[in-house]
Each structure stands twice: as structure tokens, then as C-alpha cells.
Structure 1
Amino acid sequence: AAYVLLLVGMPLGSQLPDASWSSACYFLCLGVWTLFVGSHRSLGSKPPKKISFREGILAPFLFSLSLFGLYCLLRFFPNLDLQAFLSAYLALVGVFAVASNMVDLIGSLFPLTNSQLFRVEVPKWILEDDKSIVQLSSTLADVLALCVGVAIMIAYKQDGAPFMLNNFIATCIAIEALQIFSLGSFLTATTLLSGLLLYDAFWVYGSSHVFGDNVMLTVATSSAFDGPIKLIFPHLGGSSTFPYSLLGLGDVTVPGLLTALMLKFDRSRFSTRAYGVFENSSTGSMAKPKKTYFFTCIASYIFGLVLTFVANGVSGAAQPALVYLVPSQLIGVFLVSSVKSEVDLLLSYNEELLDNTSDVEKEN
């Protein structure tokens, strides 16, 4: 149902009038949808890659080196053809991201496609840990989803392709990132998001004073990076070279990582380890976990994104969205934990420890 809503809603976005609020409404709806779906998909059985505390500290520095390196290539080697390589890479990523998002939809609409076609044995020495699956199987739904991904990417590459195709592929990439990566703990989340806030603020606000140019905006709007790595919306007041309003994919994925973590935290709060098993007194059935922190993150994301658009409208300049989104989400989560007297529970939450405990309980 969520993907049907997306497929119906995206074309309707093109019918919005050319007004300052149109892009804001469009990005808000698309961003919230991505956070909602991506967070729930992260609860799947496939174990995500957990970002360690050390990786959370290093990430802003590594991103800065990558961003500045790309900027130097664009500025000092203008004849260097980066577009061909990056276009091929992003196309490959986009195809598999779309396929991954479409396979469940195809399987639910056409149950017969869930039949297995083949299975491949993967040598253990290729895998990073012994707990990984050593057999890869494929169904007809997988093949059909891959064909859908290829077809959408081919359509996207055509001249005059509607901007909705870019946004559809970009949202699929963001959702796939939320399914693969996990912050693991609130401490890691705070460290990573705070570092990326400083990263975003410097390269948008400070880089022009240091390098004489807005490094982030130069790279983001370059034709060499004309791919599904940002959400776009037509803007008649924009420049002839880039006539769009944009929202970077990181401004969706980074808050989405915290939102997904808080959804898992909500589940852990109502596990037998946290509070014991709750039952509905009237029906005797198991009570469903309340998504208190998850919806707090969603509401905080909306608030932060609205602040971003207001600041953009008032200043008339590009704004680093994470400067508004990160404090909004972190403060929102911390305030809720304070009201509910769960600050210690939040700060001590560690997804890896809970996973290990669950494994022990299953063995017993």
C-alpha cells in the first residue's frame, strides 16, 4: 500500500503550482514517506551493517575529504570526464535499489512469482562473518523486480525524462541505505549526527569564506553529478543550468537512520527485558508496542524541515538542512525520554547487545 501511494502521489506532485510552498510540501511528503517506509523495512530479517562509535566519529572527516576531492576535480580539471563513470555507478546502484524495493510488492501482488528459480552456494571465505547466509536463492519476483529496475533506469536516462523518475530512484536508494545500515546505539547516533551537522554547516556556510566558493552547492548542482542522489522539484525562478529546488539525499537518509533506530528502541522498550510482557486487559491479547520515539522523530523531522524552508525563504540562500534537522530530532527524542523518565534506558540502548541476548534466549 505504501508503494502504491508513492507511485500515485509522485505524478500528482507535478500538478502543484509554481509557488514557494510547492517544493516544500513535495519534499516534506516524500521525506516523511521515505523515513516511514525505510524505518519499517530496517526491521527485516536481513542483518544490517552496524555503524560503530569510531566510524561515527570518522564519517564527517571522510565525507569532507571526499567532497573536497570532488570539488578540486571539478575546479582544476574541468575537462576530466567524471560523468561517464559516476553515471554508470549510480545507474547500477539505482537499478538494484529499485529492484530491492519492488520485489516484495511484486511478490504480494503475484504470489506465484515467489517460487524459487535457483540457488547458489557462496564460499565461506568470501563472507565477512560465519553467521552470514552461505546460500543465495532467487525467485521469479527477484528477476521481475530487476527487470523493473532496469526499465526505470533506462527511462530515467532518456532526454526529457520526468523529474519524478529521479525522485523515485533516489527514494529507493535512501530506503535501501536505511535497510542496510544501522546506528546501533543512541550514543553512536548522537556522535554521527552531530558530526554531520558540523560537516553540512561548514561546507555550505563556511567554505565560501575559506575557498571563495560554496563547495557543497557547486558539487551538488554540477552536471557531473546529475544522478539520483538528490530529490528535485521544478523551480521556474531557478538558474537555466539547474532549474530545480533540491533536497540532498543525505538530508533524508541521515535523519532516517535515527528514526529507524528509535523504531527499534520502541520495540525494545516493550520487550520482556525492558518492561515485561504487556497484555490487553479486556482481550487478553498481546499489546502492540507504542511507537512513541519513532513518531517523535517523524514530527521532529517535519519541524526541522519546515525551519529549513523558512530560513531558505527569508535568506534567499541555500541552507544546510542538517543544521535544522539534527538538533530538532535529537532534542525531540531527549525531551520525550526526560518526560517518560527513560533517559538512562535511551543512553544505554545498544542494538548489538540486545541481538546477542536474543540469540542466547533462542538457543536456550
Structure 2
Amino acid sequence: MEGVFRLVLVSVVFLSSQISCQEAILHISNGSTYREYCIVHNHSWTPLSPTLDAATQYPLVNLTWTLLCDATGVNPDVVKGKALVVMRGDCDFSQKAIVAQFLGATTLLIASNTTLITPSANDSEYSKVKIPLALMRYRDLKEAQQLFPEGMQAQLYAPPYPTIDPSIAVILFLSVVTVSLGGYWSGACERDRLNGCTEGGGGSEGKADSGELSLYSPLKVFIFVAMMCGMLVLMYYFYNILVYIIIAIFCLASASALFGCLDAVLDKIGCSLLSVTVLNKSFSVRSVLLAAVCISIAVVWGVYRNEDRWIWILQDLLGVAFCLNFLRTISLSNFKICVVLLSLLLLYDVFFVFITPFLTKNGVSIMVQVALGPDASAEKTQGNMVEIPAEPQPPSEKLPVVMRVPRFSAWAQNLCGMQFSILGFGDIIVPGLLVAYCSRFDVWTNSSKKIYFVSCCIAYVLGMILTFAVMLLSGMGQPALLYLVPFTLITSAVVAACRGEMKQFWAGTTYEVLDPTRERLLPEGRSERCVEGESC
């Protein structure tokens, strides 16, 4: 059952996206008080002032009784030199703006009852519009009329956000620390297993007792990736049902993983177990309390998972624990398996991100649609085009398989909704499995400097930096495996070749679990158990 849970979660963790928005702020006042609202504009078409002080103030005229597709019924004297609000519909944004200009308006706001989308027009229309143009929520206009019944003064401005938001540094830190700790933990477990084996314990039993699972057959890797593809397609067609199953599995798996991580930390610092006996059964007080804490954290996340303001902290905590436990318990037996698995997952990532948009009706990739949910249209639009609901919407369930960190530069002005930098668990786990293998290989070769582990970690850092650099330059989210897999695989191969250990690095070690279809690496007539005076 635990293996099934792992497969289901791993099938959906390779999902990540980056939100790029063009929100701005509408500042409405009456001289003594003010209120600010979310608006959406196209900064490349009608740019706005970067600060409130630099924004020109105009009287705001409510003409939502008209769609302003033509000037019929509108008195130019009423709108000349003023900001104008009209309703959305019937004609293009550019046509409304041209009519507003003709009437002498200085700014055009289009009220919407549906969604706020980035204004756009035909190429021939862009040069004709000379006034600022933006969309606002109709309900915000009605609220402003109630707050300022005697007249409204409007200013539009778009605070510039730094290209490199601090949230990216937090995401980078979380991913690098998780991969490094997970790889180190895997190597430490392997060292403990070998030491136990040397002291007289059976190597195969030690492996089984640790609860680790090993991928050692290329055929099993192919089947594993094929099942992941099938799971992703099922999520695409049956998202509204399967998302709740994934959430429930994540709560169980992450609570168990958090328990394992914290229990290992307490063991490391020497915290007493303090066992008690109840009804002839012995219980560890530490384990009971720790289990209660971990289950409580998972339950709190499950109940408040749609609360953006703070729940991301618990999601990241549970996510780090899940990834660490995964890297500790899942091992790849040799570099050949690493190459096969990582290469297949790279193709999987690229296909479902870049190829599937040509196969779907709405032109959105299957992976992005599954990662963000079918209702998250605002985040699925391409490039700098966005959509924001004009009315309050019920929370949209999303898969909990990403690290989420709010964009700190926009923290104080989240009028249009909080913006997050996101990294999928798959971008941590997939290269992390190779890092873990390098860490175990350092143990097998008694490398005091941990050359394979350190070099692979450095390659992961460089790959992540390149991923973020391409994302910032292109303005679009990137499939991180496209950069991480080549960086880590090539670096590990180069290190093995330079040290003259490629044969051993490729084939693994003699004490790894062997595929029964392959020729055994142990000498003929030897068992796989330890003999006295020899390590496994």
C-alpha cells in the first residue's frame, strides 16, 4: 500500500509553474480618505506611472450605462479631461479607447462583471490609443460610489516589482538544502547499513529493515515512468475527483515523512525515548508525542490548505519532509539506472509541457493544467496575459506537490490576489535521487572528501540558477528538469571518468540488490551475506 501511495504522489510531483502578472492599482479618494482597488492593464500598450505621487489625478465619471462602442448619447463636456468608467462588452477595448479619446477623456476604465484580462488589440490599433486603459471590477466601482457619494478622484499607477524577487532566493535555498540533506541522509543510512553488516548483521536484512526500496531494473524504470504518464493523463480528465485523493494521500505521506525526519533529528541529539507500559504493551512517549504533532500539522494544512496568507509555510515544511524521506527510502542501484530514469523523466517533462499544447483543445499543456487546476485560468495564460475573476470565487483545489513562496515584493499590495513563486517536488526529487546515489557511492569507495556528492550538489545549484535565469529572461515558467538533468548527469559522469571509476560507477557495487535476470557480480559460489572480517 505504501508503494502505491508513493507512485501516486510521484506521478504528480513533476509540476511547476511561474505566475507573471500585470496588475496595477486604482487609487480613489475624495480629498480626506481613499481606497485602492485592483486593475489590470497592458504596460507595453498603455504604461502607467510607477508611483502614486507621479500619477495624475482626474475626476472619475461613471458612465457604466453605456458600452462606449460609439459616442451616441455621451456629452463631451461631461467627460472632457476626466477619467471615464464604462462597461465591458460588444466591441474591442481599442474601439472603446478611441471613442473615449474622441470625447476628450484622459483615462479609460472598463468595468467587468466576468474577468479582468490583460487588454490587447490588433497591431494596427495599438498606435491609435494614447490614453491609459485598464480593466476594473464592477463591484469595486459600486463600493467606491457608496464610500464617496459626493465625487471621486482617480489615480492609476503600477508599482514596479524587482525582476528578481527575494522569493526566488528562498525557493533556491529550500531546494538546495533539501537535495543536499536528502543525499547526505541516504549516504549516512548506507554507511550505517554497511557498519551493521560488518559487525555481523546480514546485509540484505539490514536493507529490508530500513524500509528502503531500490530501483535496479531498466524495465521497471520504463514501467514506472509509463504509469506516471498514465496517472497524469487521468488527472487531466478526472481532476475534480482525483485531486481530493491526492490531497488525502499527501496528508498521510507527509505526516509520516515529517515523523521520520523529526525522529531522526531527536535520535541524533540523543533525546530519550522514555517508554511506558500500558496493558502489557510498551509505548515510546517520544514517538506518541511526535506522531501527535506531525498528524496535527498535516490536519491543519488539510483544513486550511486554501488560506494563502500563511498556509504555504506548513505546505513547504511538509513538502521538505516528504522529499527528504523520499530520497532516504528510494535508492537507485547504479548510474545506468540513474541515466535511464532521469532521461525518461526529462522527456516526460518536456513532452507534457511543450508538446501537449498542440494536442489539447484549449492550447494549454496537460502538465500546467494539472499543476494549476482546471479553474486557474488566470495563471495558465501565456506570457504576460492574465485573467482575474471579477467576482469572489470559491477556492480552487490545487495539487499540494509544489513548494510555494509568496512574492515578497508584492506582499503589501496583493489587491488582485497573492502571487507565488513555485517549484515542483519533481525538480527536487528527480536530481536528488542522483545526488543520493553519488552520496552512497562515496560511502562504497570510502571517499573522505565526498567528491561525487559535493560535485553533484554543485551541479544542481548551477542548474537551478540557470533555470531561474532563463525564466527571468523569457518571462515564463520553465521545466527545471530540462536544465537540472543534463547538469547533474554530465557532472557525475565527468567526475567518474576523471577518477577512473566509470566502470564501477556505471555498474554500482557488488552488494547492491541484483536483478535476477542479470549475471551476478559476486564471485561464483559466494552468498550475498557478509563473511567474517569483510564488509558487504
Counterpart in 2 of 1:345? 504
SS of 1:312's equivalent in the other structure is helix
Q: How does 1:78-227 map to 2 (within 5 A)?
A: 80-108=240-268, 111-113=271-273, 115=275, 139-156=284-301, 157-158=303-304, 159=307, 160-211=309-360, 212-222=363-373, 223-227=396-400
CA deviation vs aligned residue, 1:273-297 (integer Å, no higher than 9, x gap): xxxxxxxxxxxxxxx7220000111
Tell me the distance in 1 between the aligned counterparts of 2:289 and 2:350: 42
Equivalent in the alignment of 1:63: 228
Asked whether the equivalents of residues 117 and 140 of structure 1 are also in contact (C-alpha less than 8 Å), the reply is: no
After superposition, the C-alpha distances for 1:80-115 in whole angstroms (9 at most, x for unaligned) are 444443322221112111111111233455733254
Distance 2:296 2:441 in 1: 38
Measure the CA separation in 1 of the matches of 2:279 and 2:533. Answer: 27
Change in Cα spacing, 1:233 to 1:360, as seen in structure 2 (3 Å) is: same
Question: Which letter maps to 1:205?
Answer: F
Query: What does 1:16-55 align with in structure 2 at a 5 Å threshold?
Result: 20-42=164-186, 43-44=188-189, 45=193, 46-52=210-216, 53-55=218-220
* Partner residue in 2 for 1:4: none
* Counterpart residue number, 1:361: 531
Check 1:138–1:97 CA distance in 2 against 1; reply closer, same or farther (3 A cut).
farther
**In structure 1, C-alpha distance between the alignment counterparts of 2:181 and 2:368, rounded to whole Å:** 28
Percent sequence identity over aligned pairs: 26
| Amino acid across the alignment from 1:90 | F
Which runs of structure 2 are paired with 1:326-341 in the superposition (5 Å)? 326-341=485-500
Distance in structure 2 (CA, Å) of the matches to 1:100 and 1:172: 8
For 2:466 and 2:496, how far apart are their aligned partners in 1?
23
Deviation at 1:177, TM superposition (A): 0.8
User: 2: CA distance between counterparts of 1:246 and 1:255?
Assistant: 17
How far the C-alpha of 1:54 sits from its partner, in A, is 1.6
What count of residue pairs does the alignment treat as equivalent?
A: 310
Note if contact 1:186-1:347 (Cα within 8 Å) is conserved in structure 2.
yes
Aligned to 1:125: none
The partner residue of 1:266 within 422, 442, 453 is 442
Match of 1:7? Answer: none
Q: Unpaired segments of 5 or more residues in structure 1?
A: 1-16, 75-79, 122-136, 271-287
Counterparts in 2 of 1:202 and 1:138: CA distance versus 1, 3 Å: farther
2:237 corresponds to 1:72: yes
Q: String of CA shifts for 1:315-336, please: whole Å, max 9, x gaps.
A: 1122111110000000001111
Distance 2:280 2:479 in 1: 45
Aligned mates of 1:120, 1:257 — CA distance in 2: 42
User: Which runs of 5 or more structure 2 residues have no equivalent in the other structure?
Assistant: 1-160, 194-209, 374-395, 515-520
Give the helix-richer structure, 1 or 2: 1
Q: CA deviation at 1:303?
A: 0.7
Find the aligned partners of 1:118 and 1:336 in 2 and give their Cα distance. Answer: 55
Please, what TM-score do these two structures have when normalized by structure 2? 0.53
The structure-2 alpha-carbon separation of the partners of 1:361 and 1:165, relative to structure 1 and needing over 3 Å to count, comes to: same
Higher strand share goes to which structure? 2
**How far is 1:155 from its partner?**
3.3
Query: For the structure 1 residues 85 and 339, does the alpha-carbon distance in structure 2 shift closer, same or farther, using more than 3 Å as the test?
Result: closer
Deviations 1:225-281 (A, max 9, x none): 342x111111349995772111100110111111111111111112xxxxxxxxxxx
Pairing of 1:198-347 with structure 2 (within 5 A): 198-211=347-360, 212-222=363-373, 223-227=396-400, 229-235=401-407, 236=410, 243-270=419-446, 289-347=448-506
Query: How big is each residue's C-alpha offset from its partner over 1:163-185, in whole Å with a ceiling of 9 and x where there is no partner?
Result: 22111100100111112111111
Alpha-carbon distance in 1 for matches of 2:277, 2:533: 32
Which amino acid is the alignment partner of residue 33 of structure 1? V
Which one has a bigger Cα radius of gyration? 2
Contact 1:203/1:214 (CA < 8 Å) preserved in 2? Answer: yes
What is the DSSP-based 3-state SS (H/G/I as helix, E as strand, rest coil) of the residue aligned with 2:513?
helix
Q: Alignment RMSD, CA only?
A: 3.0
Secondary structure (helix, strand or coil) at the match of 2:500 reads: coil
Q: 1:24: how far off? A: 2.6
CA shift, 1:117, in A, is 5.8
Distance, in Å, in 2 between the alignment partners of 1:104 and 1:87 is: 25
Distance 2:280 2:372 in 1: 42
Does the 8 Å CA contact 1:100/1:145 hold for their aligned counterparts?
no
